[in-house]
Chain A
Amino acid sequence: MSGKTLYDKLWNSHLVQQRDDGSALIYIDLQLLHEVTSPQAFEGLRLAGRKPWRVSSSLATPDHNVPTTKKERISGVDGIADPVSKIQVITLDDNCNEFGITEFNMKDIRQGIVHVVGPEQGATLPGMTVVCGDSHTSTHGAFGALAHGIGTSEVEHVLATQCLVQKKSRNMLVRVDGELSPWVSAKDVVLAIIGAIGTAGGTGYAIEFGGTGIQSLSMEGRMTVCNMAIEAGARVGLIAVDDTTIEYVKGRPYAPKGEHWDMAVEAWKDLVSDKDAQFDEVVVLKAEDIKPQVTWGTSPEMVIAIDEPIPRPEDQKDPVKKEGYARAWKYMGLEGKTMLGDVTLDRVFIGSCTNSRIEDLRIAAQVVKGRKVASTLKQAIVVPGSGLVKAQAEKEGLHEIFEAAGLEWREPGCSMCLAMNADKLGAGEHCASTSNRNFEGRQGFGGRTHLVSPAMAAAAAIAGHFVDVNEFVKH
């Protein structure tokens, strides 16, 4: 019998009941909750007269709707100008109070984007199952945890039963071999992977990311890679546990301590795929081939290296692709352009659950330090992923570097990644964004999103258009 993959091991250790048709009940260790996908789930519990199975397994924080300007944030939830958003955030507070769930509310320094907060607190641990009503829950797979994005009915199901009905996915290994070039980041790696396998390439799979190009990444970089597994179609992204993982978790507020820590570390060492494990699909990329990436279209798979020409619809053979490309060219207003450097940018957004952690902010600050944002830019904003990331950045003086360069320093939240709050693009505006989705209208009605790494976004903010950050920093 062949060995087990990391995914197989996590699945087996959480299996409560296997059903004949292939579906199964799996046990959930941690559920993260936010204001957008939870109100109907709590309402469902109330209507059915049910209670949460195990309240200590849940952790909540508002993130999607919260404003990010100081002016609106100063008075907490009362300061939210949009009355509809305000009701949603208040509803989360009320539900957490009613059911006894730990919440980092808007006045708590620990508030932030759920996928930044969970790992930061040590609430996310290796070997866990983690769910959240948000597709970017795959982020937590960076810890060797089985993490799924789920819908609201499933949020309610997990609250009520501590279990999720799931069908086991197939195993895919994406290996990045070799050493990454300077200024090529985790974001470039995952965009290159999505470009290689497509947005449906991982559908039905749990993707394990491996190889030296992945192992050399910090935990924050690994979270960026797993975060965008869903953009390759996979609900689950995974990275094996190693010393980097254990070092990161050690000493965090919710991490185990004393003898429990020793026991846990011993167990976590097994959270790797066996050497003889069989994967249903293996994809290999060479780290050296990956250059800074920029998306040109309206799907994350419409991505190229900064020095490549924008692919043209007429050159596509597949009719579906040709039509998709033509629609994207029109929406993105690319007529007459050859390279992405030809696109004049209107806004820059540095933030989101993909790229709003301290290392992201450090590298962006390094690029803009002593420089000024282009006068053609309408706005450049930096939105830290949590109150604690913000505090750390301020301790290091990063906010002063950003502000001196002409970037706005904001309060934590999801912000312009999905534009549910006031931070959004106007129609036709081009944005260099460190977020995860470039769908039509994603960052605002008619807005045009280009996904990039924090370093590339920072360089673009100074130049006013896309440049190769590697060349840029030499001048």
Chain B
Amino acid sequence: MRPFTKHTGLAAPLDLANVDTDMIIPKQFLKSIKRTGFGKNLFDELRYEDEGQPDQECDGRPIRKDFVLNQDRYKGASVLLARQNFGCGSSREHAPWALDDYGFRSIIAPSFADIFYNNCFKNGLLPIVLQAEEVDQLFAEVALREGAQVIVDLENQTVTSPSGATFEFNVDNFRKHCLLNGLDDIGLTLQQDSAIRRYEEKRMNDAPWLFLPRGQ
């Protein structure tokens, strides 16, 4: 996994509450058996006027000009400002894969849906929860000036707004550690294999029916 330490980037404001994972990446694109290539279909129904198909070239498709990512001033954005309950709905990891593939590194919102929030960390993408007023301020500052950049510092757990205001955020130590160092958490868990085996032995004793070959 790519490490995340400190990131400075253009912020794009997506001013919509309850953005669900069907909006982030519609179902027809989930048929892929790969982890990459979802970026061109990120927010497909918000971004394009027609119905997108897997394996379709997107360059010539009619776009919705008013959608934030279609505006020239937000081309190349790598920080997404969002509203409450971002990422609600399905568990599809294709949602963070699509955001990552498009070029986003961090998403800032007043709240996230649990599964989506969790999935981001597995993909080097940092979801940040700030107070609603702080998110409002970022939206206002980003709208004010073209090219406004936001600094996300994971080590110090701060977001710095274009005007220099600094907001602190919380993140679990373990997730922070994995993200800072780009660690594969399967490898880390497997270092605990003896603890897992000890648990299994005890459990086999307490609840043997859970370990029988099926149907016996």
Q: Mark A residues whose CB is within 8 Å of B.
A: 16-17, 19-23, 25, 27, 29, 36-37, 39-40, 43-44, 48, 50, 53, 56, 64-65, 82, 84-85, 87-88, 91, 102, 123, 125, 127-128, 133-135, 137, 149-154, 156-157, 160-163, 165, 167, 199-200, 203-204, 230, 233-235, 253-254, 256-257, 260-261, 263-264, 267, 299, 320, 323-324, 327, 418-420, 437, 439-442, 445-446
- The 29 sampled A-B contact pairs (Cβ below 8 Å) are A16-B192, A17-B192, A19-B174, A25-B189, A25-B192, A25-B196, A36-B31, A43-B33, A44-B186, A127-B207, A133-B93, A135-B91, A135-B115, A137-B91, A151-B96, A151-B118, A157-B189, A160-B186, A162-B196, A199-B88, A200-B84, A203-B85, A324-B17, A324-B18, A420-B28, A439-B20, A439-B23, A440-B45, A446-B51
Q: Is B57 close to A, CB under 8 A?
A: no
Nearest to B55 among chain A residues (CB) is A84
The number of residue pairs between A and B whose CB atoms lie closer than 8 Å in the complex comes to 195
Q: Which residues of B contact A257 (CB under 8 A)?
A: 216
A16 adjacent to B54 (CB under 8 Å): no
Contact B31–A85 (Cβ < 8 Å): yes
Residue of B nearest to A88 (CB): B31
Given the contacts A43-B33, A161-B186, A441 and B45 also touching, CB distance less than 8 Å: yes
Instruction: Check if B34 sits within 8 Å of A40, measured CB to CB.
Output: yes
- With both beta carbons as reference points, the residue of chain A lying nearest to B192 in the complex is identified as A17
The answer on a CB contact under 8 Å between B114 and A17 is no
Return chain B residues, CB-CB under 8 Å to A48.
184, 186
B115–A149 CB distance below 8 A: yes
Q: How far is the CA of A102 from the CA of B214 in the complex (A)?
A: 10
B94 to chain A, nearest CB (A): 8
A56 to B33, CA, bound (A): 24
Contact among A87, A264, A419 for B33, CB-based, below 8 A: A87
Q: Are B93 and A151 in contact (CB under 8 A)?
A: yes
New A-B contacts (13) at CB < 8 Å, excluding given A157-B185, A260-B208: A17-B195, A84-B54, A125-B209, A134-B91, A200-B113, A233-B88, A263-B207, A264-B209, A418-B27, A437-B90, A439-B23, A445-B26, A445-B51
**Which of the residues B35, B93, B115, B172 comes within 8 Å of A21, measured between beta carbons?**
B172
Q: Which residue of chain A has its CB nearest to the CB of B17?
A: A320
Residues of B within 8 A of A154 (CB): 118-119, 122
Q: How far is the CA of A472 from the CA of B147 in the complex (A)?
A: 59
B216 contacts across to A, CB distance below 8 A: 257
The reply to whether B207 and A21 form a contact with Cβ atoms under 8 Å apart is no
Interface residue from B22, B118, B172, B173 paired with A441 (Cβ < 8 Å): B22
Which residues does chain B contribute within 8 Å of A324, judged by CB atoms?
Answer: 17-18
Q: How far is the CB of B5 from chain A (nearest CB, A)?
A: 19
